Amino acid sequence: MKYIPAIIAVSLWLAAQPALAALNILACEPEWAALAKELGGDKVSVYAATTALQDPHRVEARPSLIARARSADLMVCTGAELEVGWVPLLQSQAGNPKIQPNQKGYFEAAMAVPLIDVPTRVDRSLGDVHPAGNPHLHLNPANIAKVASALTERMAQLDAPEAAYYRDRAKSFLERWQTATVRWEQEGAPLKGLPLVVYHKDLSYLVRWLGMREVGALEPKPGLPPTTAHLSELLSQLAKDPAKVVVRSAYNDPRAAAFIAERARIPVVLLPYTVGGTERAKDLFGLYDDTLSRLLAVTK
Protein backbone atom coordinates (compact mmCIF):
# COMPACT_ATOMS: atom_id res chain seq x y z
CA MET A 1 0.00 0.00 0.00
CA LYS A 2 3.04 2.23 0.00
CA TYR A 3 2.09 3.42 -3.52
CA ILE A 4 -1.22 4.86 -2.37
CA PRO A 5 0.20 8.26 -1.30
CA ALA A 6 1.96 8.55 -4.64
CA ILE A 7 -1.24 7.70 -6.47
CA ILE A 8 -3.15 10.28 -4.51
CA ALA A 9 -0.45 12.88 -5.16
CA VAL A 10 -0.48 12.21 -8.89
CA SER A 11 -4.23 12.36 -9.12
CA LEU A 12 -4.41 15.57 -7.11
CA TRP A 13 -1.85 17.05 -9.44
CA LEU A 14 -3.87 15.94 -12.41
CA ALA A 15 -7.02 17.37 -10.86
CA ALA A 16 -5.28 20.68 -10.35
CA GLN A 17 -4.45 20.95 -14.03
CA PRO A 18 -6.59 23.53 -15.83
CA ALA A 19 -9.58 21.68 -17.19
CA LEU A 20 -9.66 21.49 -20.94
CA ALA A 21 -12.22 23.87 -22.31
CA ALA A 22 -14.21 21.19 -24.12
CA LEU A 23 -17.08 19.26 -22.60
CA ASN A 24 -15.96 15.66 -22.75
CA ILE A 25 -18.72 13.52 -24.24
CA LEU A 26 -18.73 9.74 -24.51
CA ALA A 27 -21.49 8.68 -26.90
CA CYS A 28 -22.62 5.08 -26.67
CA GLU A 29 -23.68 4.94 -30.32
CA PRO A 30 -22.54 6.83 -33.44
CA GLU A 31 -25.92 8.58 -33.90
CA TRP A 32 -25.55 10.29 -30.55
CA ALA A 33 -21.92 11.15 -31.25
CA ALA A 34 -23.08 12.83 -34.47
CA LEU A 35 -25.85 14.66 -32.66
CA ALA A 36 -23.52 15.83 -29.89
CA LYS A 37 -21.16 17.21 -32.54
CA GLU A 38 -24.03 19.03 -34.25
CA LEU A 39 -25.06 20.64 -30.98
CA GLY A 40 -21.68 21.12 -29.37
CA GLY A 41 -19.55 22.29 -32.27
CA ASP A 42 -16.02 22.98 -31.16
CA LYS A 43 -16.99 23.35 -27.50
CA VAL A 44 -17.23 19.61 -27.08
CA SER A 45 -14.94 16.69 -27.65
CA VAL A 46 -16.89 13.61 -28.63
CA TYR A 47 -15.85 9.97 -28.61
CA ALA A 48 -18.12 7.27 -30.00
CA ALA A 49 -17.92 4.02 -28.04
CA THR A 50 -19.19 1.95 -30.94
CA THR A 51 -19.22 2.06 -34.72
CA ALA A 52 -22.02 1.34 -37.17
CA LEU A 53 -20.45 -2.04 -37.86
CA GLN A 54 -20.87 -3.14 -34.25
CA ASP A 55 -24.05 -4.64 -32.90
CA PRO A 56 -25.13 -2.22 -30.17
CA HIS A 57 -26.65 -5.13 -28.21
CA ARG A 58 -23.31 -6.91 -28.00
CA VAL A 59 -20.65 -4.47 -27.00
CA GLU A 60 -18.06 -5.28 -24.36
CA ALA A 61 -16.90 -2.98 -21.61
CA ARG A 62 -13.44 -2.85 -23.17
CA PRO A 63 -10.58 -1.29 -21.22
CA SER A 64 -10.44 1.59 -23.70
CA LEU A 65 -14.08 2.40 -22.95
CA ILE A 66 -13.47 2.38 -19.20
CA ALA A 67 -10.66 4.87 -19.82
CA ARG A 68 -13.01 7.09 -21.86
CA ALA A 69 -15.77 6.81 -19.26
CA ARG A 70 -13.27 7.85 -16.59
CA SER A 71 -12.78 11.27 -18.16
CA ALA A 72 -16.27 11.83 -19.56
CA ASP A 73 -18.33 14.79 -18.38
CA LEU A 74 -21.35 13.41 -20.15
CA MET A 75 -22.34 10.01 -21.47
CA VAL A 76 -24.98 10.10 -24.18
CA CYS A 77 -26.63 6.73 -24.55
CA THR A 78 -29.83 5.31 -25.94
CA GLY A 79 -31.03 3.81 -22.67
CA ALA A 80 -34.12 1.59 -22.53
CA GLU A 81 -31.73 -1.23 -21.63
CA LEU A 82 -30.09 -1.34 -25.07
CA GLU A 83 -26.68 -1.03 -23.42
CA VAL A 84 -27.51 -3.16 -20.37
CA GLY A 85 -24.62 -5.52 -21.12
CA TRP A 86 -21.84 -2.96 -20.96
CA VAL A 87 -22.72 0.56 -19.80
CA PRO A 88 -23.32 -0.51 -16.16
CA LEU A 89 -19.78 -1.91 -16.11
CA LEU A 90 -18.33 1.34 -17.44
CA GLN A 91 -20.25 3.17 -14.74
CA SER A 92 -19.09 0.88 -11.95
CA GLN A 93 -15.46 0.61 -13.05
CA ALA A 94 -14.55 4.08 -14.26
CA GLY A 95 -14.57 5.78 -10.86
CA ASN A 96 -16.49 8.71 -12.30
CA PRO A 97 -19.42 9.93 -10.19
CA LYS A 98 -20.61 12.26 -12.95
CA ILE A 99 -21.80 9.52 -15.29
CA GLN A 100 -23.67 7.37 -12.78
CA PRO A 101 -27.32 6.57 -13.51
CA ASN A 102 -29.63 9.43 -12.55
CA GLN A 103 -26.77 11.92 -12.59
CA LYS A 104 -26.70 14.88 -14.99
CA GLY A 105 -23.70 13.39 -16.76
CA TYR A 106 -25.66 10.34 -17.89
CA PHE A 107 -28.15 11.13 -20.63
CA GLU A 108 -30.57 8.58 -22.05
CA ALA A 109 -32.20 9.43 -25.36
CA ALA A 110 -35.07 7.04 -24.62
CA MET A 111 -36.17 9.37 -21.81
CA ALA A 112 -36.98 12.09 -24.36
CA VAL A 113 -39.26 10.10 -26.66
CA PRO A 114 -42.18 7.73 -26.39
CA LEU A 115 -41.07 4.21 -27.24
CA ILE A 116 -42.92 1.82 -29.50
CA ASP A 117 -43.21 -1.98 -29.20
CA VAL A 118 -43.48 -1.93 -25.42
CA PRO A 119 -44.08 -5.60 -24.66
CA THR A 120 -47.25 -6.41 -22.78
CA ARG A 121 -45.61 -9.56 -21.50
CA VAL A 122 -41.95 -9.81 -20.59
CA ASP A 123 -40.65 -13.34 -20.61
CA ARG A 124 -37.37 -14.72 -21.91
CA SER A 125 -39.21 -17.45 -23.81
CA LEU A 126 -40.00 -14.60 -26.19
CA GLY A 127 -36.29 -14.01 -26.79
CA ASP A 128 -34.06 -11.20 -25.58
CA VAL A 129 -36.91 -8.71 -25.70
CA HIS A 130 -36.38 -5.07 -24.84
CA PRO A 131 -38.62 -4.82 -21.78
CA ALA A 132 -38.82 -1.03 -21.83
CA GLY A 133 -39.82 -0.85 -25.49
CA ASN A 134 -37.91 -0.64 -28.74
CA PRO A 135 -34.70 1.30 -28.11
CA HIS A 136 -33.67 1.75 -31.76
CA LEU A 137 -35.37 5.10 -31.76
CA HIS A 138 -33.05 7.25 -33.86
CA LEU A 139 -34.58 6.30 -37.22
CA ASN A 140 -37.54 8.63 -36.85
CA PRO A 141 -36.54 12.26 -37.47
CA ALA A 142 -39.08 13.51 -34.94
CA ASN A 143 -37.25 11.53 -32.27
CA ILE A 144 -33.92 13.04 -33.26
CA ALA A 145 -35.48 16.49 -32.85
CA LYS A 146 -36.81 15.64 -29.40
CA VAL A 147 -33.54 14.12 -28.28
CA ALA A 148 -31.68 17.14 -29.68
CA SER A 149 -33.74 19.52 -27.55
CA ALA A 150 -33.34 17.46 -24.41
CA LEU A 151 -29.63 16.95 -25.01
CA THR A 152 -29.09 20.66 -25.63
CA GLU A 153 -30.62 21.46 -22.28
CA ARG A 154 -28.47 18.83 -20.60
CA MET A 155 -25.32 20.23 -22.20
CA ALA A 156 -26.37 23.74 -21.23
CA GLN A 157 -26.83 22.58 -17.64
CA LEU A 158 -23.44 20.92 -17.51
CA ASP A 159 -21.58 23.73 -19.25
CA ALA A 160 -23.53 26.83 -18.23
CA PRO A 161 -21.05 29.39 -19.68
CA GLU A 162 -21.63 27.94 -23.13
CA ALA A 163 -25.39 27.45 -22.75
CA ALA A 164 -26.23 30.16 -25.28
CA TYR A 165 -23.79 28.67 -27.77
CA TYR A 166 -25.41 25.23 -27.50
CA ARG A 167 -28.91 26.68 -27.78
CA ASP A 168 -27.95 28.68 -30.87
CA ARG A 169 -26.52 25.63 -32.52
CA ALA A 170 -29.55 23.60 -31.54
CA LYS A 171 -31.85 26.20 -33.07
CA SER A 172 -29.94 26.15 -36.31
CA PHE A 173 -29.77 22.37 -36.31
CA LEU A 174 -33.49 21.96 -35.62
CA GLU A 175 -34.35 24.40 -38.41
CA ARG A 176 -32.25 22.51 -40.89
CA TRP A 177 -33.53 19.24 -39.52
CA GLN A 178 -37.18 20.25 -39.90
CA THR A 179 -36.64 21.40 -43.46
CA ALA A 180 -34.92 18.12 -44.20
CA THR A 181 -37.70 16.15 -42.49
CA VAL A 182 -40.30 17.74 -44.72
CA ARG A 183 -38.17 16.87 -47.74
CA TRP A 184 -37.64 13.28 -46.57
CA GLU A 185 -41.34 12.83 -45.98
CA GLN A 186 -42.09 14.06 -49.50
CA GLU A 187 -39.37 11.94 -51.04
CA GLY A 188 -40.38 8.94 -48.98
CA ALA A 189 -44.05 9.07 -49.98
CA PRO A 190 -43.65 6.25 -52.56
CA LEU A 191 -42.42 3.98 -49.75
CA LYS A 192 -45.81 3.99 -48.07
CA GLY A 193 -47.09 0.47 -47.78
CA LEU A 194 -43.82 -1.10 -48.99
CA PRO A 195 -43.74 -4.63 -47.58
CA LEU A 196 -40.32 -5.55 -46.25
CA VAL A 197 -38.43 -8.18 -44.29
CA VAL A 198 -36.17 -6.89 -41.54
CA TYR A 199 -33.36 -8.56 -39.63
CA HIS A 200 -34.06 -7.37 -36.07
CA LYS A 201 -36.62 -4.87 -34.81
CA ASP A 202 -33.95 -2.19 -35.18
CA LEU A 203 -35.66 -0.46 -38.11
CA SER A 204 -39.18 -0.35 -36.63
CA TYR A 205 -39.19 3.41 -36.11
CA LEU A 206 -38.17 3.95 -39.74
CA VAL A 207 -40.81 1.49 -40.92
CA ARG A 208 -43.54 3.27 -38.97
CA TRP A 209 -42.42 6.74 -39.88
CA LEU A 210 -42.47 6.02 -43.61
CA GLY A 211 -45.59 3.89 -43.35
CA MET A 212 -43.85 0.78 -44.66
CA ARG A 213 -45.04 -2.67 -43.69
CA GLU A 214 -42.86 -5.15 -41.79
CA VAL A 215 -43.95 -8.59 -42.96
CA GLY A 216 -41.26 -10.63 -41.26
CA ALA A 217 -37.94 -10.72 -39.43
CA LEU A 218 -34.87 -12.88 -40.06
CA GLU A 219 -34.35 -13.36 -36.35
CA PRO A 220 -36.67 -16.07 -35.07
CA LYS A 221 -36.95 -14.18 -31.80
CA PRO A 222 -35.28 -10.94 -30.70
CA GLY A 223 -31.59 -11.48 -30.04
CA LEU A 224 -31.46 -15.00 -31.46
CA PRO A 225 -29.48 -15.59 -34.67
CA PRO A 226 -31.42 -16.68 -37.79
CA THR A 227 -31.92 -20.42 -38.08
CA THR A 228 -32.64 -22.42 -41.22
CA ALA A 229 -35.91 -23.64 -39.72
CA HIS A 230 -37.08 -20.11 -39.13
CA LEU A 231 -35.92 -18.92 -42.55
CA SER A 232 -37.85 -21.65 -44.38
CA GLU A 233 -40.92 -20.83 -42.31
CA LEU A 234 -40.44 -17.20 -43.27
CA LEU A 235 -40.20 -18.21 -46.93
CA SER A 236 -43.52 -20.01 -46.86
CA GLN A 237 -45.02 -17.03 -45.08
CA LEU A 238 -43.62 -14.75 -47.80
CA ALA A 239 -45.25 -16.95 -50.46
CA LYS A 240 -48.63 -15.91 -49.02
CA ASP A 241 -47.74 -12.35 -48.10
CA PRO A 242 -44.87 -11.33 -50.37
CA ALA A 243 -42.31 -8.69 -49.44
CA LYS A 244 -40.69 -6.36 -51.94
CA VAL A 245 -37.32 -6.17 -50.23
CA VAL A 246 -35.13 -7.57 -47.45
CA VAL A 247 -33.38 -4.89 -45.46
CA ARG A 248 -30.45 -5.38 -43.14
CA SER A 249 -28.32 -3.04 -41.09
CA ALA A 250 -24.61 -2.60 -41.69
CA TYR A 251 -23.76 -4.65 -38.60
CA ASN A 252 -25.94 -7.66 -39.51
CA ASP A 253 -24.57 -10.83 -41.04
CA PRO A 254 -25.33 -10.66 -44.79
CA ARG A 255 -25.91 -14.41 -45.27
CA ALA A 256 -29.43 -14.81 -43.88
CA ALA A 257 -30.67 -11.81 -45.87
CA ALA A 258 -29.04 -13.19 -49.04
CA PHE A 259 -30.64 -16.60 -48.41
CA ILE A 260 -34.16 -15.14 -48.26
CA ALA A 261 -33.55 -12.70 -51.10
CA GLU A 262 -32.39 -15.41 -53.45
CA ARG A 263 -35.30 -17.74 -52.75
CA ALA A 264 -38.02 -15.11 -52.58
CA ARG A 265 -36.53 -13.34 -55.62
CA ILE A 266 -36.45 -9.95 -53.97
CA PRO A 267 -33.52 -7.57 -53.57
CA VAL A 268 -31.49 -7.05 -50.39
CA VAL A 269 -30.99 -3.48 -49.34
CA LEU A 270 -28.19 -2.66 -46.97
CA LEU A 271 -29.14 0.25 -44.77
CA PRO A 272 -26.53 2.23 -42.86
CA TYR A 273 -28.63 1.94 -39.65
CA THR A 274 -26.53 4.66 -38.08
CA VAL A 275 -23.92 7.26 -38.87
CA GLY A 276 -20.92 5.62 -40.49
CA GLY A 277 -22.83 2.57 -41.71
CA THR A 278 -22.25 3.57 -45.32
CA GLU A 279 -19.97 5.95 -47.16
CA ARG A 280 -22.73 8.55 -47.52
CA ALA A 281 -24.00 8.34 -43.95
CA LYS A 282 -21.34 10.74 -42.69
CA ASP A 283 -23.68 12.60 -40.37
CA LEU A 284 -27.33 12.43 -39.36
CA PHE A 285 -28.49 14.17 -42.55
CA GLY A 286 -26.42 11.80 -44.65
CA LEU A 287 -27.84 8.87 -42.70
CA TYR A 288 -31.41 9.75 -43.63
CA ASP A 289 -30.52 10.81 -47.20
CA ASP A 290 -28.77 7.53 -47.83
CA THR A 291 -31.39 5.39 -46.11
CA LEU A 292 -34.14 6.96 -48.22
CA SER A 293 -32.31 6.78 -51.51
CA ARG A 294 -31.40 3.14 -50.92
CA LEU A 295 -35.01 2.25 -50.18
CA LEU A 296 -36.37 4.35 -53.04
CA ALA A 297 -34.07 2.56 -55.47
CA VAL A 298 -36.20 -0.54 -54.89
CA THR A 299 -39.48 1.15 -55.76
CA LYS A 300 -38.17 2.43 -59.11
Partner 1 sequence: MVKVQTVAVAIASTLASSIPALAQNSELAGVREEMKQLQRNYEERMQALEKRLTEAETRAAKAEKSAGQAEQSANKAEKSATQAEETAVAAGRRTGENAFNPAISLIMQGTWARTSQDPNNFFISGFMPSGGEVGPPKRSFGLGETELSISANIDPYFRGIVIASLSPENTVAVEEAYFQTLALAQGFTLKGGRFLSGIGYQNEIHQHAWDFQDAPLPYKAFLGGRYVQDGVQLRWVAPTPFFLEVGGELASGASFPGNDLNKNGAGSTALFAHVGGDIGESYAWRTGLSYLRTSANNRSFQDPNSLGIPVTNSFTGRAKVWVVDGVLKWAPNGNSTQQNVKLQAEYFRSEQDGTLTYDDLASAAPVFGGLTDSFSSRQSGWYAQAVYQFMPRWRMGYRYDALRYGSVNNAIVNNGLGPSAADFSLLGPYNPSRNTAMIDFSPSEFSRLRLQIAQDKSRMGATDNQVFIQYIHSLGPHGAHRF
Task: Output 102 or 236, the one with its CB closest to partner 1.
Answer: 102
Q: In angstroms, what is the minimal distance from the CB of 68 to partner 1?
A: 8
CB of 100: closest distance to partner 1 in angstroms?
5
| Residues that bind partner 1 in the complex, under the rule CB under 8 A | 1, 3-4, 7, 11-12, 14-15, 50-51, 53-55, 58, 60-64, 66-68, 70-71, 80-81, 84-86, 88-89, 92-97, 100-102, 104, 110-112, 114-116, 118, 124, 127-128, 131-133, 142, 145-146, 149-150, 153, 178, 182, 208, 223-225, 251, 253
Closest CA to 130 of 61, 195, 204: 204
Shortest Å, Cβ 245 to partner 1: 21
Tell me how far, at minimum, the Cβ of 229 lies from partner 1, in Å. 13
Q: How far is the CB of 58 from partner 1 (least distance, A)?
A: 5
Nearest CB to partner 1, comparing residues 140 and 291: 140
Residue number, 203 or 266, with CB nearest to partner 1:
203
What is the chain's alpha carbon radius of gyration, rounded to the nearest angstrom? Answer: 21
Cα end-to-end distance, the chain, whole Å = 70
DSSP annotation string for 141-186: HHHHHHHHHHHHHHHHHHTGGGHHHHHHHHHHHHHHHHHHHHHHHH
Q: Looking only at Cα atoms, what is the longest distance across the chain?
A: 73
278 touches 272 (CB < 8 A)? yes
Cα(13)–Cα(104) distance, rounded to whole angstroms?
26
